[in-house]
Amino acid sequence: MTDLTLLVVLAGGFGASARYLLDRFVTALFGFPVWPVGVLVVNVLGAFGAGAVSQAPEAWVAVAGTGFLGAFSTFSTVFVDAVRLYTAGHRRKGILSVAVTLAAITLAAWLGVLLAQGIAAINAGALG
C-alpha cells in the first residue's frame, strides 16, 4: 500500500465519521419526516468541497476529494430517503427532495470551483 493510498483510506474514515455526526446533528435539529435535511446539508457541503478541491494538485484531489469528501457525501442516501418519504405517503416531498438536492449540489460544486479558481488567480497575481 502506498503512502497516498493510506492517506486516502484514513481520510475516508474521517469523512464517513464526519458525515454520520453532521447528519445526526442536523436531523436532531430538524427531524427526518419533514425533509431529509441532514443528508442535504452533507451533500451540499461535500459538493462545494469537491468543486474547490478539484482545482488542487492531484494528491490533494486524491486525499481530500476521493478520501474525505467521497466518504463524507452520500448520493445513494438521497434516493433511499426519497423512497422512504414516497412510500410513507409523502410523495411530493420524496420527489422534491431529489430535485432540490440535484440543484443544490450542482450550484455548490460550481461555487466551489469558482472559489478555488478565484483564489488561484489571486495567488498567481501575487506571485506574478
**Domain membership of residue 117 as a residue range:** 3-122
Amino acid at 48: F
Amino acid at 100: V
Residue 127 lies in a domain: no
Average pLDDT by stretches of 10, the chain with 128 residues: 94 97 90 79 97 95 97 93 93 94 98 95 79
Query: Is 73 labelled as part of a ligand binding site?
Result: yes
Residue 29 lies in a domain: yes
List the grid coordinates of 92. Answer: 411530493
Residue 128 lies in a domain: no
List the grid coordinates of 29. Answer: 435539529
Q: Whole-prediction pTM value? A: 0.90
Helix (H, G, I), strand (E, B) or coil at 73: coil
Report the pLDDT value the prediction gives residue 32, as an integer from 0 to 100. Answer: 62
Residue 118 lies in a domain: yes
Count of structural domains, the chain: 1
The answer to whether 32 and 88 are in contact (CB under 8 A) is: no
Query: Is 70 labelled as part of a ligand binding site?
Result: yes
